[in-house]
Amino acid sequence: MSTAYEATRPTEPGAPDLTRRLDEVWAAEPFAEAAARTEHLCAVLPLLDLFEHDPYDCAAAVRAGQQRAALGLFTPNAPFAVTEPTLRARPVGAGLTALTGRFRYADGAAEITLATVWSEEDETLRLALLPHTLAGVRLFGAGRAADRGWGEATDAALDGRALSRPVSWRPDGPLVPVLDAYAWEFSRRSVTWSAKVVADLRRALANTGEGTGALSTSQYLAHELSRLEIELSLAAAAASFGAEFKGEPPGGESVGAVLAAGTELLWRTVRIAEDLSTELGLVPGPVAEEGWPADVVQASFGGRRMVEGELARRMGLVGRP
């Protein structure tokens, strides 16, 4: 069994109790664990309320902190649209529905994935709690995440009661308000994390070489890091406003823009840290720390392309559902 999560339902996103809890998690845990717990508290737990039945006791186990669940809503697809269903479901009799499709999940320790499903029976969009041990489900990795992060269902027979009530991606539907609140919380903390990595890089450069020979005296490297620091500072300022930024309701452009900026900067921060550490031999450096997120940094919200695709949809640049 994986490490248990909090067994109690958090307060609403942005409330002092949740803010304090998330701050403590990000201060104490490595990136991958902090990001997974943010997803759990801000998105997974609230979305469990959409399930009227729990035939596999998945929701109960997740709420009790006995099992870990991750979102599979942000699986990359051809249009890079979060509104595209992750899985397809067709009835196969005896109250069972067969699920087919691949899914991506950010928490490598997750035992359950919460994914969107298109029900062919009544042509509705629903959520599914998909146990990773279900027959017909195969887990695999890709790229840096060689042993986790992806799954594929091939006619996986699921009790039809394990599907949620119908949902939609409309701004006033049950998904967008929850995921927007989660995006604000994640953006604020991921940008802060990236800024700390850049600060660690500067210290590592100062400790590599002596006197005027220290790598921190290189104007070329200083310019490279300063440019990243300026962008991180601007993104942090925007993220700090949260849902009050521009006063937009759920489904607005501002949260998508801030998340897109933060996700891009997160990716760049990890890559530049790895590049400088490898090319310049920085010891010690942030890349050497336990829990360095090289294999998971592109998993939250499906990565940069999925985030940019959702922003484009909200801006009206691509089709809406």
Q: pLDDT tens, 11-47?
A: 555 566 888 999 999 999 999 999 999 999 999 999 9
Handedness of CA 169, 112, 268, 189 (dihedral sign): positive
Q: pLDDT tens, 285-295?
A: 888 788 888 87
Residue 230 lies in a domain: yes
Residue 114 lies in a domain: yes
Predicted pLDDT of residue 4: 54
Domain limits at 181? 176-314
Residues 202 and 261 in one domain: yes
Domain-ending residue, one of 104, 136, 162: 162
For position 128, which CATH number holds? 2.40.110.10
How high is the mean pLDDT of the chain?
91
| Cα of 290 vs its chain's centroid, Å | 20
Residues 247 and 289 in one domain: yes
Predicted pLDDT of residue 291: 82
Residues 214 and 301 in one domain: yes
Residues 228 and 255 in one domain: yes
For residues 44 and 86, give the distance between their C-alpha atoms in angstroms, rounded to a whole number.
16
Q: pLDDT tens, 58-67?
A: 999 999 999 9
Residue 302 lies in a domain: yes
Residue 184 lies in a domain: yes
Q: What three-state secondary structure class fits 119?
A: strand
Question: Does residue 3 register a pLDDT over 60?
Answer: no
Residues 299 and 183 in one domain: yes
Residues 48 and 129 in one domain: yes
Question: Does residue 229 register a pLDDT over 90?
Answer: yes
Q: pLDDT tens, 104-137?
A: 999 989 999 999 999 999 999 999 999 999 999 9
Residues 139 and 197 in one domain: no
Confidence label for 235 from pLDDT (cuts 50, 70 and 90): very high
Residues 43 and 153 in one domain: yes
CB 132 within 8 A of CB 68: no
DSSP state of 30: -
Q: Mean pLDDT check: name the lowest of 85-94, 136-145, 150-159, 231-240.
A: 136-145
pLDDT, average across residues 297-310: 93
pTM as predicted: 0.91
Residues 271 and 181 in one domain: yes
Predicted pLDDT of residue 107: 93
Partners of residue 173 on adjacent β-strands:
none
pLDDT, average across residues 306-317: 95
Residue 235 lies in a domain: yes
Domain-ending residue, one of 120, 135, 162: 162
Residues 149 and 209 in one domain: no
Predicted pLDDT of residue 265: 96
**Total domains present in the chain:** 2
pLDDT, average across residues 272-289: 87
Residue 31 lies in a domain: no
